[in-house]
Amino acid sequence: MFSVIREQIDTIFREDPAARSVVEIVLCYPGFHAVLLHRVAHRLYKARFPLLPRLISQFSRFLTGIEIHPGATIGHRFFIDHGMGVVIGETSEIGDDVLIYQGVTLGGTGHERGKRHPTIGNKVVIGTGAKVLGGITIGNNVKIGAGSVVVKSVPDNSTVVGIPGRIVRSGSSTGVLDHGLLPDPEGQDIADLKHRVAELEAQIKAVLDGAAVRR
């Protein structure tokens, strides 16, 4: 257990520049508390202890504002930054070196049975308020922008934004999710539509002007 705690502390120092000391992390980081409590609850869940894993999960939710079902499988060096409002469903599977922010949901759509929550690959970053729903697979090195709603599987090395989530970048990907530099597909669609409307208005005006001259 000590090695798990040490790994979690090292992960927070690596991911959060605001972390100043081990004492601060142990006392003040809800993501740290939630992940460690989940490790305990998950072991009991796998050992088929009745009720106790869910009680630990509910206590963790009360303490941290983060709800992780004890059945969820979480890899190494997982970090929840801030964390309030995070929900991770029972059949979720999360790889190594995954970073998620507050308000993220790894949930179901309400229609599946069995594997009904997402599988998240390694080195994935999921931005604030994003929702990843259903038994889909998010590949390695994927970045999901804040507020996105992802309901389809995403290949490796992609960046996804929007509602519903759309792939806006593919290929090599860094570990940084810079929201200030993300494309805005909805904004681009609106700009393209405005441009097309202006073109059509110009064409209509030209036709009307030509008709007026002929009269």
pLDDT at 131: 96
Cβ-contact 132, 116 below 8 angstroms? no
pLDDT digits (tens, 9 = 90+) for 126-161: 999 999 999 999 999 999 999 999 999 999 999 999
pLDDT at 189: 72
Spatial CA neighbour of 23 closest among 8, 9, 40: 9
For the chain, give the mean pLDDT. Answer: 88
pLDDT at 175: 56
Geometric angle at alpha carbon 37, from 175 and 135, rounded to 5°: 55
Name the catalytic one among 38, 111, 179, 195.
Answer: 111
Instruction: Reply yes or no on whether 111 is catalytic.
Output: yes
The backbone region for 47, taken as left when phi is positive above 0, alpha when psi lies in -120 to 50, beta otherwise, is: alpha
Query: Confidence class of residue 114 from pLDDT cuts 50, 70 and 90?
Result: confident
- Is 80 exceeded by the pLDDT of residue 47? yes
Cβ-contact 9, 22 below 8 angstroms? yes
pLDDT at 183: 63
- Is 90 exceeded by the pLDDT of residue 206? no
Q: Cα–Cα distance between 53 and 42 in angstroms, integer? A: 7
Q: pTM to 2 decimals?
A: 0.78
- Is 90 exceeded by the pLDDT of residue 56? yes
pLDDT digits (tens, 9 = 90+) for 169-193: 876 555 566 665 566 666 667 777 8
pLDDT at 170: 78
Cβ-contact 34, 64 below 8 angstroms? yes
Does residue 17 sit in helix, strand or coil?
Answer: coil
Geometric angle at alpha carbon 98, from 16 and 121, rounded to 5°: 165
Spatial CA neighbour of 159 closest among 174, 142, 175: 142
pLDDT digits (tens, 9 = 90+) for 70-101: 999 999 999 999 889 999 999 999 999 999 99
Percent of the chain with pLDDT over 70: 90
